[in-house]
Amino acid sequence: MNEELRKFLIDNGFEEYVEIFEKNKILTTRDLKELTESDLEKIGIMALGDRKKIVKLAFDSIKSKKEFKTLEFPNTPEGQNEKTVALGGLSKEGWKVVSETITAGEFNKEKACCFFLIFAPCAFLAGHKEGTINVTLEREVFETET
């Protein structure tokens, strides 16, 4: 159980339920905010008053906000692999992909122009700029008001 949820329970007089929450894998304030009175009864919180107070306090005092993050990877096979690894780790932290854009690469125009003037087929020797993969992520962060 994270410290934020433990503090919430203890500060509101529900320290007797810490073990019940841990046993039922309710480990974060996000988990708590999603519970109903019926859920609390199913996990062993039998006192109706306590169930009502927990649900009301969770609703009133646990606020959420969204965080956003944008990552950029090269549009190459290595960049794809890097993106896959990065997103795998971030998803464990609650991040979700909200958009992904791929920018195609292009010829290095300045050099291509010079090569074209000398000999048109040589323009391809000017090089290529890699494209990019831009991924925007979001996650919901819960805060307890004190």
Query: 122 vs 143, which has greater pLDDT?
Result: 143
pLDDT digit string, tens, across residues 106-140 = 655 555 455 444 555 554 544 556 789 999 999 88
CB 140 within 8 A of CB 94: yes
Q: pTM (2 decimals)?
A: 0.50
Superfamily designation of domain 3-62: Transcription Factor, Ets-1 (1.10.150.50)
> Would you say residue 77 has pLDDT above 60?
yes
What is the model's pLDDT at position 94?
A: 84
**Domain ranges, ordered by start, for the chain:** 3-62, 65-144
Question: What's the CA gap between 51 and 14, in Å, rounded?
Answer: 10
- pLDDT score for 71: 96
Please tell me the predicted confidence (pLDDT) of residue 123.
Answer: 46
- Average pLDDT of the residues of the chain: 83
Q: Indicate the pLDDT class of residue 68, thresholds 50, 70 and 90.
A: very high
